């Protein structure tokens, strides 16, 4: 559990992001989260989690992102854990996808994640340690009826996890990812009922997942209790 640690969660106002923030706070961490447009939800979360901080962050604006993270370090001094949760999806069939659609999802889900990590990691290296947990998706590892653009970015997150774990090991920084299956709420709300039933039929647990189940796994990976886990993509899918 990340008790006493400072945890930075990107996309903290999304369905899974809120669950991550709540779980980290419940386990005794100081929670910092980013948001883009959901200011009202951010204010509600700040009120719910005493001692937390919110940072407005646009993953499409790399220079502004760098300045925001520099300012954050100047304020808090240390970030022990980074949870790369922010991301978008596009519900669009392949023949209708245009170049700008691909650019957008690549810029947010991959480029944005890369540069958030780069700027947070600089502080972790100075502080000689840390943990990073990336949020992937079963869409990037298995054959599912999901938007192609979303699946390819989530597959990239898995590769990013391996490469970061290898490069950052000499600085005492561990990098893992969680790979959720079909989760109730959030992106899962847009999944057709027939696909939900098919998922449940092939799921060993016999149900869809919950955001808090993803969050608790992230808290474990962020904690010193998982000190021998590194470079892993850990499925949270009920057994598919």
Instruction: Write the pLDDT tens digit of every residue in 7-40.
Output: 999 999 999 999 999 999 999 999 999 999 899 9
* Cα–Cα distance for residue pair 173/113, rounded to 1 Å: 17
**Residues 77-101 as b or e (16 or more Cβ within 10 Å = b):** eebbbbbbbbbbbeeeeeeeeeeee
Q: How far, in Å, are 34, 127, 229, 232 from residue 31 at the CA level?
A: 10, 18, 23, 24
pLDDT of residue 1: 55
Query: For the chain, how long is the longest CA-to-CA vector?
Result: 50
Residues whose CB falls within 8 Å of the CB of residue 195, separated by 6 or more in sequence, listed in order: 145
pLDDT of residue 50: 97
pLDDT below 50 — which residues of the chain? none
* Cα–Cα distance for residue pair 120/100, rounded to 1 Å: 28
pLDDT of residue 141: 83
pLDDT of residue 137: 93
> What's the pTM value of the predicted model, to 2 decimals?
0.95
Sheet holding 130-135, edge to edge: 53-56, 30-35, 6-9, 81-84, 130-135, 173-180, 233-236
73 an active-site residue? no
From the candidates 35, 73, 150, 228, which is the catalytic residue? Answer: 150
pLDDT of residue 54: 97
* Cα–Cα distance for residue pair 227/32, rounded to 1 Å: 22
CA torsion through residues 195, 199, 201, 202, sign: positive
Domain boundaries, the chain: 6-236
Give the class (CATH, top level) of 6-236.
Answer: alpha beta
pLDDT of residue 5: 95
């Amino acid at each position: 559990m990340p008790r006493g640690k400072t945890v930075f969660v990107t996309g903290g106002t999304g369905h899974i992001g809120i669950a991550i923030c709540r779980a980290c706070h419940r386990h005794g961490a100081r929670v910092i989260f980013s948001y883009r447009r959901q200011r009202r939800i951010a204010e509600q979360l700040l009120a719910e989690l005493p001692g937390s901080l919110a940072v407005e962050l646009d993953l499409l604006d790399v220079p502004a992102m760098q300045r925001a993270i520099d300012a954050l370090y100047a304020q808090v001094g240390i970030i022990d854990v980074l949870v790369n949760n922010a991301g978008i999806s596009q519900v669009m069939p392949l023949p209708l996808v245009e170049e700008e659609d691909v650019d957008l999802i690549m810029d947010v889900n991959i480029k944005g994640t890369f540069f958030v990590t780069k700027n947070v990691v600089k502080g972790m290296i100075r502080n000689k340690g840390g943990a990073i947990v990336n949020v992937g998706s079963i869409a990037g590892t298995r054959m599912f009826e999901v938007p192609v653009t979303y699946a390819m970015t989530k597959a990239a997150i898995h590769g990013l996890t391996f490469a970061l774990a290898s490069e950052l090991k000499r600085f005492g920084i561990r990098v893992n990812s969680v790979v959720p299956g079909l989760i109730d709420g959030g992106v899962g709300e847009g999944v057709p009922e027939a696909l939900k039933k098919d998922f449940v039929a092939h799921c060993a647990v016999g149900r869809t997942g919950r955001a808090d189940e993803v969050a608790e796994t992230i808290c474990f990976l962020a904690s010193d209790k998982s000190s021998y886990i590194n470079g892993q993509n850990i499925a949270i899918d009920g057994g598919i």
